[in-house]
């Protein structure tokens, strides 16, 4: 197809990458650990881990899985950890042993966890002890044979690690009682593995690297099958795009959870392949502690989501941080609001860029320019990354012309193999010739920049007119006194649906009338809210994406929710 957007590429970015340059993630991480052995890979809670020790510990973990746990190439292992040093050690080690990683949200309920473990057929699981009680409930009906349990402080320097574990267990009582017979200690696994040899495994681009579960907020969670080839291609695509800026001795913030695909590729793999030094933030919702970490480790690169950047800017001390080294800030995972982008640029001097993708594409599909002309926020998600084709299609799969609004479809080496054991669900999203239906509604402009209108399932239809929640939220976020906002459909007997707003206040004096007056000034009649509900907080995913579906469900249960604020 005609990739008419290529003339807009920065001079340093190639039109294509060679997806066969690296055969597997195993090769990528082993090369990085050898090449950058003396560099610091991660900072976490005052402990620094260099690439040489990351190599040794992940090698020991992988060897233990092969010899002591009896796991074989292709077996699945669930990793249920927040952003601690244990995560990259376990994840890299599992992949080096030829296993398939099943990234698992530590905040899952026992029911959600049981579904994922059973569906994936996981033979082993690594879990933080804080969540071991949940795992205990989920285990009986699964195929899990090996359980490895770790404490928050297990990989921290002595004596801090021991102190952290003691305080969490016995002072703050953050570790509920659990009993899992024959569970293994993560520290002992590493110690025992150092005396074992990591057996060679033959991996290529067609082997399965991850079962990355998605769709839990819109139905039963499905495992996207991401191969080594998918992941390597997306890492190389991202790396090619980042060639716009200097990539030597880089530092980055890793606040989004590594078990989420955006952070997994954009933080963990991209920067590991470049020998970057990451600040692991275990609890990004502890914003005062987050500010202290940023003060100690000023970053060059910062990947996050709109809600994270917005909350940080409202945390005391943020404006006094040193942003002199900050080169790129990139938002993804949800729509970036123009008010947040403008405020970030004002406070940091760094443009807040935007990217777009989805789990099924490993995930990166489009990114805005990072520096120079066209890098300032204009609502676009940017251009398709190298070796990526993109079209806008109607409901029947026909390609639409430039400027027309339809479903974004994507093709490239980063697109998943399909959904694990779900050919029916795979058929719903995969078109002939490898095209992926993304479920996002968007359009091209005449230069090839892509604009997202909204998620197909989130669209509001008011008397036949299409209303996109992103547009409403972007405008209302500019209203003085609004901290966060979500727009959803509310049933209406006259127009079918109307716009309902859920708002978290920044200014306690903000009134419903003030919001209505603001909307009247900036939104046409059918886009204006018919109902406003104030809340202390909005439901979010693990990465901070607002869950509109939960709000729609609340409205379906009761047409007049009681205001919480």
Q: What is the structure's pLDDT at 556?
A: 87
Neighbours of 50 (CB within 10 A): 17
Q: What pLDDT is stored for residue 564 in this prediction?
A: 39
Query: Domains plus CATH for the chain?
Result: 46-228 (3.40.50.980), 460-557 (3.30.300.30)
Residue 357 in contact with residue 348, Cβ under 8 Å? no
Residue 464's pLDDT is 76
Residue for token digits 């991996």? 203
CA distances from 292 to 24, 31, 268 (A): 37, 33, 22
Whether the CB-CB separation of 365 and 410 falls below 8 Å is answered with yes
Q: How far apart are CA 38 and CA 375, in angstroms?
A: 34
Query: How confident is the model at residue 219, as a pLDDT?
Result: 56
d(CA 69, CA 145): 8
Q: Which tokens sit at 377?
A: 């926020």
> What is the pTM assigned to this prediction?
0.89
CA 168, 173, 176, 181 torsion-angle sign: positive
Residues 305, 333: contact at Cβ < 8 Å?
yes
Q: What is the pLDDT of residue 559?
A: 63
CB 334 within 8 A of CB 305: yes
> How far apart are the C-alpha atoms of 374 and 445, rounded to whole Å?
13
Distance from first CA to last CA of the chain, Å, rounded? Answer: 52
Longest dimension (CA), the chain: 72
Tens digit of each residue's pLDDT, the chain (565 residues): 899 999 999 999 999 999 999 999 999 999 999 999 999 999 999 999 999 999 999 999 999 999 999 999 999 999 999 999 999 999 999 999 999 999 999 998 998 899 999 999 999 999 999 999 999 999 999 999 999 999 999 999 999 999 999 999 999 999 999 999 999 999 999 999 999 999 999 999 999 999 999 874 345 789 999 999 999 999 999 999 999 998 888 999 999 999 999 999 999 999 999 999 999 999 999 999 999 999 999 999 999 999 999 999 999 999 999 999 999 999 998 889 999 999 999 999 999 999 999 999 999 999 999 988 888 888 999 999 999 999 999 989 999 999 999 999 999 999 999 999 999 999 999 998 999 999 999 999 999 999 998 888 898 988 878 788 999 999 999 999 999 999 999 998 888 899 999 999 999 999 999 999 999 999 988 899 999 999 999 999 888 889 998 999 999 887 654 443 3
DSSP 461: E
In 347-495 the beta strands, taken as DSSP E runs, fall at 352-357, 364-367, 383-384, 389-393, 406-411, 418-419, 430-431, 435-444, 450-455, 460-462, 465-467, 482-492
């Amino acid at each position: 197809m005609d990739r008419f957007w290529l003339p807009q590429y920065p001079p340093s970015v190639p039109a294509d990458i060679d997806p066969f340059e690296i055969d597997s993630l195993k090769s990528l991480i082993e090369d990085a650990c050898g090449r950058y052995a003396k560099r610091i890979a991660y900072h976490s809670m005052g402990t620094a881990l260099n690439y040489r020790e990351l190599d040794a510990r992940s090698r020991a973990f992988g060897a233990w899985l092969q010899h002591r746990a009896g796991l074989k190439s292709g077996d699945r292992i669930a990793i249920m950890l927040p952003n601690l040093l244990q995560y990259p050690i376990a994840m890299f080690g599992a992949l080096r042993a030829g296993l398939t990683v099943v990234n698992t949200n530590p905040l899952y309920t026992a029911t959600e966890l049981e579904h994922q473990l059973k569906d994936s057929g996981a033979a082993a699981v690594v879990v933080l002890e804080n969540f071991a009680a949940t795992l205990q409930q989920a285990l009986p009906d699964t195929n899990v044979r090996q359980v490895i349990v770790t404490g928050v402080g297990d990989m921290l320097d002595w004596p801090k690690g021991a102190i952290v574990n003691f305080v969490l267990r016995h002072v703050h009582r953050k570790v509920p009682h659990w009993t899992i017979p024959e569970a293994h200690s993560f520290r002992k696994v590493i110690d025992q593995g150092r005396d074992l040899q990591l057996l060679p495994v033959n991996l290529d681009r067609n082997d399965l690297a991850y079962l990355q579960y998605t769709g839990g907020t819109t139905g039963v969670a499905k495992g996207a099958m991401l191969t080594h080839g998918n992941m390597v291609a997306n890492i190389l695509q991202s790396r090619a795009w980042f060639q716009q800026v200097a990539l030597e001795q880089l530092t980055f913030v890793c606040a989004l959870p590594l078990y989420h695909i955006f952070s997994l590729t954009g933080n963990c793999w991209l920067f590991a392949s470049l020998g970057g030094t990451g600040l692991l933030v275990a609890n990004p919702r502890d914003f005062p502690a987050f500010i202290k970490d940023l003060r100690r480790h000023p970053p060059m690169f910062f990947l996050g989501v709109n809600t994270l950047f917005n909350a940080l800017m409202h945390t005391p001390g943020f404006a006094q941080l040193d942003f002199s080294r900050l080169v790129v800030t990139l938002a993804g995972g949800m729509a970036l609001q123009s008010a947040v982008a403008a405020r970030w640029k004002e406070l940091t001097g760094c443009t807040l860029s935007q990217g777009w993708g989805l789990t099924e594409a490993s995930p990166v599909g489009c990114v805005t320019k990072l520096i120079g002309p066209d890098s300032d926020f204009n609502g676009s998600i940017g251009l398709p990354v190298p070796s990526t084709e993109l079209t806008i299609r109607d409901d029947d799969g026909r390609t639409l012309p430039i400027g027309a609004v339809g479903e974004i479809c994507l093709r490239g080496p980063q697109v998943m193999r399909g959904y694990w054991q779900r050919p029916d669900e795979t058929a719903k999203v995969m078109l002939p010739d490898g095209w992926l239906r993304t479920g996002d509604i968007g359009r091209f402009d005449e230069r090839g920049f892509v604009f997202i209108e909204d998620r197909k399932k989130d669209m509001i239809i008011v008397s036949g007119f299409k209303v996109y929640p992103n547009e409403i939220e972007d405008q209302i976020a500019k209203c003085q006194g609004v901290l966060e906002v979500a727009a959803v459909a509310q049933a209406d007997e006259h127009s079918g649906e109307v716009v309902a707003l859920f708002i978290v206040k920044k200014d306690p004096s903000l009134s419903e009338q003030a919001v209505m007056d603001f909307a009247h000034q900036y939104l046409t009649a059918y886009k204006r809210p018919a109902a406003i509900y104030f809340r202390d907080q909005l439901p979010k995913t693990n990465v901070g994406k607002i869950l509109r579906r939960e709000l729609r469900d609340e409205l379906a249960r009761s047409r007049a929710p009681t205001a919480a604020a």
